[in-house]
Amino acid sequence: MEKSHETLLKAITEKYQALGENPETYLKGLLQAKPINYWDYIEVDTLLSLQKPRTNFKDEAIFIMYHQITELLLKMIRHEIEQLFAVQEVQEAVWIDKINRCIRYTIMLITSFDIMKDGMSYDDYNTFRSTLTPASGFQSAQFRYIELYCTPLRNLVNEEGKKQLPKTPSVEDYFENIYWRDAGYNRTTGKKTLTMRQFEEKYLDSFIALATKTQGSTLQEKFSALENPSEELRCTLLQFDTHYNVDWPMTHLATAKHYLDSKGEEKTATGGSEWKKYLHPKFQQRRFFPGLWNDEDATS
């Protein structure tokens, strides 16, 4: 046991010496530090205080917590993808592991929509949702960051948008015609909804910066550069692509229909978008790895 302690102390000393630091200072700090506990490490008190409903309807708290959980799951996906982006060389075992994690997180997003569909009062939701205007889940920036890490901008422009592109599009040209812009921009009148204006004012510069940074090195481009990718890697990437870009939007659409159109009322989305059209994968036409899809998949 004494030898084990000596080995550990030596390793700690070498660690801080390698950093150019005095190991004794850090050991003194460790001596004085209080033991960590669960509630401080996880920031439980802060986390549980982040729900601030705007009405007295009890299910509004559920609505807020659900979307906070969604943002955490998106952050988990982004966390894995950023690690793959940061390394130039594709190590298949690492990619398969990380993308499988993203698949599990995406499945959680898909199955979690039951909380929205079956876990809130229909009448209460359709009353308190009016206080959320013009806020919209469309304004989730993390969703866009994930797209920009995964695939080139050309794969985020649907067929209608591609008709508007010049022969040699710039990053800005792509963003003028990116699929999600049609959720709040009328190309005939040139008018934007308040939802879109607020979203672009806050995030568009960061989207353009990230798209510029990832040019030529998105996950799709790293994968395409492989000479002989394994079938396992191909299948794993296609599974993630399908879950994230088809299954999840379709589940979202079904949930929206439950609250906005189940009684034939065709209510308007809080962000003002044509939600039936916008949410459907056939409209979005988003594919992270289009080369993995066959013709039947691409048109279904």
pLDDT tens digits along 134-167: 999 889 999 999 999 999 999 999 999 999 999 9
| Tokens read off for 142 | 């993390």
Confidence check: pLDDT of 133 > 70: yes
| Tokens read off for 113 | 């929509």
The answer to whether 104 and 73 are in contact (CB under 8 A) is no
* Residue 18 resides in a domain: no
pLDDT band at 298 (very low <50, low <70, confident <90, very high): very low
| Tokens read off for 89 | 């060389």
Q: What share of the chain is helix, strand, coil (3-state, %, to 5)?
A: 70, 0, 30
* Residue 129 resides in a domain: no
* Residue 189 resides in a domain: yes
Q: What range defines the domain where residue 239 resides? A: 82-121+135-299
Confidence check: pLDDT of 22 > 80: yes
pLDDT number for residue 294 = 84
| Cross-strand bridge partners of residue 192 | 185
* Residue 88 resides in a domain: yes
Count Cβ atoms below 10 Å from residue 121 Cβ, excluding itself.
13
Confidence check: pLDDT of 297 > 80: no
* Residue 100 resides in a domain: yes
| Cross-strand bridge partners of residue 185 | 192
* Residue 278 resides in a domain: yes
* Residue 264 resides in a domain: yes
Give the CA distances from residue 40 to residues 35, 72, 149, 280, 281, in Å, rounded to whole numbers and listed in that order.
Answer: 10, 18, 32, 42, 42
Least confidently predicted of 85-89, 129-133, 269-273: 269-273
Sign of CA dihedral 283, 284, 290, 294: negative
Q: What's the rounded mean pLDDT across residues 199-206? A: 98
The answer to whether 253 and 279 are in contact (CB under 8 A) is yes
* Residue 87 resides in a domain: yes
Confidence check: pLDDT of 1 > 90: no
- Gap between the Cα atoms of 12 and 299, Å rounded: 58
How many distinct structural domains can be found in the chain? Answer: 1
pLDDT number for residue 25 = 95
pLDDT band at 4 (very low <50, low <70, confident <90, very high): confident
Q: Is the pTM of this model over 0.85?
A: yes
What percentage of residues in the chain have a pLDDT greater than 70?
92
- Gap between the Cα atoms of 99 and 19, Å rounded: 34
Q: What's the rounded mean pLDDT across residues 46-61? A: 97
Phi, psi values for residue 26, rounded to 5°: -70, -35
